[in-house]
Structures are given as C-alpha cells and as structure tokens.
Chain A
Amino acid sequence: MKSISLYVEKDTFIHKLEPVTKLWYAFTSVLLTFILPSLWMGILFLLFSLLLSISGRVLKNMIAFISAVIVISLTMLVIQGMFYKDNSTIVFTFGSLKFYKEGLIHATLLIVRVLNMIISFGILILTTRPSDMVTNLVQKGLSPRIGYVLSSVLQIIPQMLSTASTIIDAQRARGLETEGSLVQKLRAFFALIGPLVLSSLVEARERAIAIEMRGFGISMRQTHVSVILEGKVDRVLKFVIKLVLLIALTWRVVSWII
C-alpha cells in the first residue's frame, strides 16, 4: 500500500536526532524570525535552516515545498513594491508602474519568513518517520488516545483514497455522468462521496468495537513497544534552543518596555 508520508529514508545526523528536538528547532526558528523583525536575522536563520537540510540530504525534496510558494512570493513583490503604505523611494519604473524600495524590502522580509518556516518544518517532516514522531510525543506526555488518532489517520487515508478510486470506477461502470455542467458534476460528487462516507463510518464503528476488545479504553499506565531514546546531543541541543528562545523573548520584552 502506498504511503502518504513524505519521510525520506537516509542515514544522517539529522535523521538520528530525537523528533522532539527537531520540533523545538522548527518552532523556535519560526518564532525568532517574527520576534526579531530584522531582515538580516531572517536571512541568517534561512541560511542556517538551508544548511541543516543540506546536511540532512533532503534539499531536493525541499524544492517541491518551496516551489509551492513561488507564485505568491512573486506577486507579493509586485503588489508590495507598488502599494506598500510607507512607499516613498522609487527604485525603477516599468511603463507607468512605479516600484518602491520600502515595499520591495518589506516583501523580501515576508518571503524570507515564509521560506524559513517551510524549510525548518520541512526538515522535521522529511527526516522523521511519522510513527516515530507520534511515539516520541506520547512519551513526552501527549495523550495516548490523541497519539492513536494521529497514527490512525496516516493509515486510514491511503485506504480511503483507494476505496475512493474503486467507487469512481464502480459508479462510472453504472453510467454516472462525470462530465458536463457544474450542477451535473455536483450531483456526481454526491454519488461518489455518499457511499464512501457510509462505508467508512460503518467500518469505524467496527473498529471501535475491535480496539475496545483489545483494551483500548483501559485506564492503566501503558508501556511502549518501541522506545525513542534521548541522546546526549539531543539534550544539549534542546538546552541551547530553549536558551536562545528565552534570550530573544527577554530582549523583545525589555526593548518594548524601554
């Protein structure tokens, strides 16, 4: 069965880190580019995140994420370049359109922030097996029931999508009209999603009974089949990340008060 995870199996330093460490890094680097509102700070973090994705050997996969925001980034440059509220210095004119320095710089800052967010979370997503992340979070105190929901979703989606293709084939074989006007298509949409919802809800009810039989609702301390170990490196890295975050937050608060 095809998997929907984006995990890339490789053997690097980044892959071996504890998932929670990578989660901390992603959160911190996104937060810092917002609370330290300087373009150079953003570029620094962006370069650092890029460096990490190179050392995790996932740069190629990252390009797919980045290309998803290229169009909006370009239009942001155009719109901000022309209409930003503090625009005053003209950089160049294009026919009758004027582009201003302030707007272009502002748009660059926004783009850097978004790229940094995509890349730092991208590292987490591309170098961590989803099931490891769920196990790790449950070990750190996430409710095991929510943990079950998360890992169950990752298994159910490929199943439901393959049921969905079966339903499309079956309804087409019965002569379902899938071309034509919007109303016709919406009618077809009902004929496709209806059976899927019904069958998956019935299945869910059976699954509930099945996992109850295996002691899912039991209120005792549960143990884990696989345990994710926290290495020395993880401990040091998490400490450094939290320290940097704390310093940045204090600086921000202090500079607000003064």
Chain B
Amino acid sequence: MAKSSKLTTMIIVLIPVAVGINYAGKFFAEALKLPLWLDSIGTVLAAMLAGPVVGGLSGAINNIIYGLTAGPISFIYALTSIGIGVAAGLLYRAKMFENAFRALISGLIIALVATAISVPLNVIFWEGQTGNVWGDALFAFLRSKNVGIWLASFFNELVVDLVDKVLTVFIAFGIFKALPKTLVYGFRSED
C-alpha cells in the first residue's frame, strides 16, 4: 500500500478544494465575461502544492465530478486534466516555477501536453473537431487545403487551448507565490 500511504489527510482535504477552485475559476471568468475558461487553476495549484500524483488525481476527480454535474462529455477529457496535473507537478519538481519567465515556459509546455492528449480524443470522438467556432473554422479551412487530419486537429486544439492554459498556469503561479509559507508546507507529501 505504498501508494495510498502517501495520501495523508491534508492531501485528502486538498483535492476537493482544488476541484472547488477549478469551478470558482470558471465562475469568476464567466462573471467577468472573460473569453477564457480558466477552469484548471486548482489542478495546477494542487500539483504545485503536493506533487504530480495529487495533481493528476485532482484533474481526474475534477472531470468525473464535472461529468456528473454538467454533462457526460467531460468524462472523456479526464485524461487531459490528468495530463495537466501531472505535467504541472513534474515541472514544479524540475524547478520550473522559480520565476515568472520559467512559469511562462511551463505554461507553454502544459498547453502542449494538454493539446497532445486532447487531439487523439478529438480525432476518435469528433473526427478532429473541438466544438469551438474559431478552431473548427480553421480546421475546415486546413482540411479543404488537404492538410492531414491530425495536424489540422492539432492546430484547432492549440488555437482553443494555448492562451487559456498559459494564463491558467500563470495565475496559479501568482497565487502560489502569494500563499503564506506555513500553509504551503502543510500540504507537502512526505517523500
């Protein structure tokens, strides 16, 4: 039971809060009429606080709960959320959140990871489309110019995801820097 012994009580209570922050991010973005989702800030924060495993777990549970409360489509994209959480946790361990510039690079890497996972899902379920008007228009244009389905789908997803994910990571980085250290250390897993 080496895996579950890492799940201390502090981490068990962190995961629901991470999912709640994801929901709140989406809620605030809608209240401010921002043209973004910003709905994975909690996942990234949890990964920074407690590591890649907890980040991935938060991502998975986020999409399971989202699927249960908003519609089953988001079950599929649980894989993308897991990827975001794991990537953020690994990047944090690799000291890629030391300063704003590195956080920006991390944001780009996480956006690429999210895209790389979403594209096969989009190809399997939607033959490459994303459901976003601008992305799909680009997709149709590229397809009509005989660009391959994978490449067209990749650009489609990137257009939709890039700005959102980079900003998500940047906001999480900003919040993390501002958190009091006594709070941060409490969530560290004991490895």
Residues of A within 8 A of B (CB): 4-6, 64-65, 68-69, 71-72, 75-76, 78-80, 82-83, 85, 106-107, 110, 113-114, 117-118, 121-122, 125, 130, 143, 145, 148-150, 152-154, 156-157, 159-161, 163-164, 168, 178, 182, 185-186, 188-190, 192-194, 196-198, 200-205, 207-208, 211-212, 216-217
Contacts and interface: CB of A to CB of B under 8 A. Distances in A.
A79 B136 contact: yes
B190 to A, nearest CB: 13
A201 B181 CA distance: 12
Interface of B: 4, 7, 9-10, 12-17, 19-21, 23-25, 27-29, 31-34, 38, 41, 45, 61, 64-65, 67-69, 71-73, 75, 125-127, 129, 131, 136, 139-140, 143-144, 149, 167, 171, 174-175, 178-179, 183, 186-187
B34 A189 contact: yes
The DSSP consensus for interface residues of chain B is helix
A121 B13 contact: no
A106 B127 contact: yes
B152 to A, nearest CB: 9
Contact of A217 (B9, B34, B149): B9
Given A76-B127, A121-B75, A208-B13, 7 more contacts: A79-B127, A79-B136, A156-B16, A192-B31, A201-B183, A202-B183, A204-B13
A71 B132 CA distance: 10
Nearest to B125: A114
A258 B144 CA distance: 37
A216 B32 contact: no
Interface centre among A114, A118, A163, A193 (most CB of B within 10 A): A193
Interface centre among A4, A150, A154, A201 (most CB of B within 10 A): A201
A110 B27 CA distance: 31
A182 B73 contact: no
A97 B15 CA distance: 50
